[in-house]
Amino acid sequence: MRILRHMLCAVLALSLLPGCDKWLEVQPYDQMAEDDLLSREEGFRKLLNGIYVDLNKDELYGQTLTVEMLEVMACSYQIGTDALTWGNYIDLDNRNFDTEYWRTRLDNTWNTAYSLIRNCNTILEKMQGREALFTGNDYNLIRGEALALRALLHFDMFRLFGPVYKLNPEKESIPYVATTSLQVQELLPGTEVMRRVVEDLEEAERLLEDDPIRTTTDHLVNHATVEGDNFWEYRTLRLNYYAVQALLARAYYYMASYAGDRQADYKAEAETYARGIIGIAPEHFPFVDKANILGNPENVDRIFATEVIFGLTNVNRNLMFQNNNDPDHSPQPVLRMAPALIEAPYFGGGREYGGSTDDYRYIANWRKSGNDYYFYKYADMADVSRIENTIVPMIRLGEMYLILADLHSDDRPVMAGWANQLRAHRGVELMPETDDYRASMLDYEAVRELYGEGQLFYYYKRNYTSILTVFESPSQFREATERFYVVPLPDTETENRQ
């Protein structure tokens, strides 16, 4: 069956991670009949683990939706003018999606995402009414994670291919697939897609109420030992209870961009969830210890691992650096921030930009070579065996502060107050909490906090804002247009509807 054709090709490599061997202990099952595979709890675990492994594919969060394509679309990188070297990225920067290269890339991202969505649906359908197969609370935990994964993938496909929600939330967008059927599903209005995203996440939240993460204080990856079985350890490497709440904050925040009848309700929900995560963070997701940034130069914690609410485990993470940001990457282009632009978020101090070279985010993630600065977030640590060396952040604590700040954009001192709570843990001076704290200052804070994680494009699209591109250019902003922010549906999807 098509949905079971995804091999867990990374499992053997992943099993080398210290302490994670049992959690990732999966046997190949592509030749097994689906009914046999899902006749016992172990089969559901294998299929669920396979989804997590496949999220690391280049088509998804192993490159396209994190450090590469989405960051180019957010104008995070300096794109050269040499067509021979930069041709495909020039097309992407100009939103020319009609080339064979980008049509293929978008097809692959869409198809991989929806294939994994159908894997989630297989788990959900085959579990229905079979609670007796599962031990303890495992039925609820597996079902909760599958629902959350389904919501996550739909939400990101919607944020990429859907309309600008702030302008037209009712516009036809993407299908929300909640079945294993291969029948073409209808394209839904944006409001209906988001309603289903929230519905899945709220059900996942209910099912994950007894998540082991709620009773552990092992901060790094929330290691929660279960007697005789460690399938439920390393909860921040799975869509855990708090990660679902953080995703609900992200979803309601996105919906609150539209000034409709429910805007106040959505703002309130987003604020409640974001404040809730911040409230439990000192115990479960503490801010990075500055000693791991300033006092450990060989093994700098570039991702601020204790702050990661949900992250993927990718033993090939260094390839994200080598293939995109490595200054020795040749002959392919090296993706990096324009030297003139980096001055704003990191060198632009004072009231206008809030930048500082004392910022932990600058110290941990940037290196200068010649006149250029290179992004090292995904480069290997000296000790490659450390679990921090494999984590790709999917949602982090800092985003909760940014959400709360942006929700209060009409009250600038409150907005600045939330940004300052984040800055207080980044080694930089606080910004004046006055009425002249502008929204653009928060944009720079978002760049510093989320750079390289694929969230900046969604942040700009949510707010339908212009983007600072080259600081010294007479035309320094890319103006917001629907063409700039809306990616056309992939060919495979449109062809299926003809």
Quote the mean pLDDT of the chain: 89
From the list 377, 408, 410, the residue with the least C-alpha distance to 421 is 408
Give the span between the Cα atoms of 211 and 422, in whole angstroms: 27
Tokens standing for 40?
Answer: 């016992």
pLDDT tens column, 251-302: 999 999 999 999 999 999 999 999 999 999 999 999 999 999 998 778 999 9
Domains of the chain in start order, with CATH, are 2-495 (1.25.40.390)
Rounded mean pLDDT of 173-189? 95
pLDDT digits (tens, 9 = 90+) for 218-236: 645 555 555 555 677 889 9
**Paired sense of beta strands 308-313 and 391-396, if any:** antiparallel
pLDDT recorded at residue 229:
59
pTM: 0.92
pLDDT score for 322: 96
Residue 39 phi/psi, 5-degree rounding, is -90, -5
pLDDT computed for residue 215 by the predictor: 84
Dmax (CA) of the chain: 67
Q: How far apart are the C-alpha atoms of 218 and 216, rounded to whole Å?
A: 6
Over residues 107-121, the pLDDT tens digits come to: 999 999 999 999 999
Task: Provide the Cα torsion 51, 52, 54, 59; round to 10°.
Answer: 110
Scanning 128-215, the segments in alpha helix (DSSP H) are 138-161, 190-207
Per-residue pLDDT at 377 exceeds 60? yes
| pLDDT of 18 over the 50 cut | no
- Beta pairing partners, 313: 391
In tens, the pLDDT along 186-198 reads: 999 999 999 999 9
Alpha-carbon span 336 to 469, nearest angstrom: 12
Cα distances from 461 to residues 4, 60, 439, in angstroms, run 34, 19, 15
- On whether the CB atoms of residues 454 and 377 are closer than 8 A, the answer is no
> What is the distance between the alpha carbons of residues 230 and 155, in angstroms, rounded to a whole number?
30
Tokens for 206?
Answer: 């209910």
- Extract the tokens encoding 453: 């994680």
Per-residue pLDDT, 440: 85
Residue 343's pLDDT is 80
